[in-house]
Amino acid sequence: MSKISAVDLFCGVGGLTHGIIQSGINVVAGFDIEENCRFAYETNNPNAKFFKQDVSSLSGEEVEALYPQGGIKLLAGCAPCQPFSKYSQGRDVRKDKKWPLLYAFSRIIREVKPELVTMENVPDVTKHEVYHDFISELEEQGYHIWAEQVFCPDYGMPQIRKRHVLLASRLGPIQLIKPTHAPENYKTVLDAIGKLPPIEAGDSDSKDRLHTASSLSPLNMKRIRASKPGGTWKDWPQELVATCHTKASGRSYGGVYARMQWDKPSPTMTTQCFGYGNGRFGHPTQDRALTLREAAILQTFPKRYKFVPNDRKIEFKPIGRMIGNAVPVKLGQIIGDSLVQHIFS
């Protein structure tokens, strides 16, 4: 397995890296512009070195020098997805500084010529010209390509998350391994976080600082107590309903201020997943929002994955951003397993 070595572009805190390491692939380095990610990336993936560098300024020569001699090179990456998200529709994303990053990824592939490539992004990436240019560039270089939307519960992730996954190989036809789960045995919220110690809003678990829940205002405490698992704010007494939801423009937003369900996968984890009012992020039975640890576990990070040093204060926004922006570790492992199967079977 050590014959495959990888460099992870846009690595964040290491979700993709950690997953493909679990497949037996040797990840040698990760690149990201967020210095806050360095601790988590290097602490949990000690054989991989973190480089704080903008991928658009990175040369293929620099990347190629990181690979061991004589092995199979994998170049992996998830370019920041905000320009391709459905939430970006309607604004001029051409002005977004993140827009050219997929072109930078393509340029590095052309310069390094790795045997294997993988890219993961939001499904709407396929609606943009830059994605089709990326595909065309791979085809011109002789890569065999598999690229489809992946529904994460089909692969054992306890989260309703859809991602576009691309695998490319210069060595022959390639594809993702077949789904490992079906609706009757999807991993659920209960499977993932049901055994964590109960805590109250605003409190932390004494044995795990990341198992910390944000505080709730008195009004939001009344709201969550009036919320049913799988329900919406439409279940509340009228006096608890927010003014914005009584307007025609807000009546369709039923997925905020809501509890998850024990017997189903969770909603997609976002950078705001620690906030009760930001989505269906209420705990199924406890009167609080998800803790940071619960969100990380739903993203399939190991239960002891470290995100900040022990002497650093737990802050919701930066850690929530790390967790929400990550590639689920299990998805990284599925990608890695597919690449290993392609090479060694």
How far apart CA 196 and CA 101 sit, in angstroms, is 39
Residue from 11, 81, 152, 273 carrying the catalytic annotation: 81
pLDDT at 243: 82
DSSP string, 95-148: G-TTTTHHHHHHHHHHHH--SEEEEEE-GGGGGSHHHHHHHHHHHHTT-EEEEE
Backbone dihedral region of 148: left (phi > 0), alpha (psi from -120 to 50 degrees) or beta?
beta
pLDDT at 100: 74
pLDDT at 254: 56
Can you identify the CATH homologous superfamily of domain 4-181+327-344?
Vaccinia Virus protein VP39 (3.40.50.150)
Phi, psi of 29 (to 5 degrees): -165, 155
pLDDT at 78: 86
* Residue boundaries of the structural domains of the chain: 4-181+327-344, 189-324
Cβ burial of 21 (10 Å; 0-12, 13-18, 19+) is buried
pLDDT at 133: 94
How far apart CA 148 and CA 129 sit, in angstroms, is 17
**pLDDT tens, per residue, the chain with 345 residues:** 459 999 999 999 999 999 999 999 999 999 999 999 999 999 999 999 999 999 999 999 999 999 999 899 999 998 875 544 444 444 444 444 445 799 999 999 999 999 999 999 999 999 989 999 999 999 999 999 999 999 999 999 999 999 999 999 999 999 999 999 999 999 999 999 999 999 999 999 999 999 999 999 999 999 999 999 999 888 899 999 988 776 554 455 556 799 999 999 999 999 999 999 999 999 999 999 999 999 999 999 999 999 999 999 999 999 999 999 999 999 999 999 999 999 998
Predicted TM-score (pTM) of the model is: 0.92
Residue 81 catalytic? yes
Question: CA dist 78 to 16, 118, 178, Å?
Answer: 9, 8, 22
**Under 8 Å CB-to-CB from 78, ≥6 apart: which residues?**
10, 12, 16, 119, 120, 121, 327
How far apart CA 258 and CA 86 sit, in angstroms, is 22
pLDDT at 86: 47
pLDDT at 258: 92
Side by side, which strands form the sheet with 26-32?
A: 49-52, 26-32, 4-9, 72-77, 116-121, 162-169, 144-151
8 Å CB contact between 107 and 60: yes
8 Å CB contact between 190 and 134: no
How far apart CA 5 and CA 3 sit, in angstroms, is 6
Assigned CATH class of 189-324: alpha beta
8 Å CB contact between 133 and 306: no
Write down the residue that tokens 């690229």 correspond to.
147
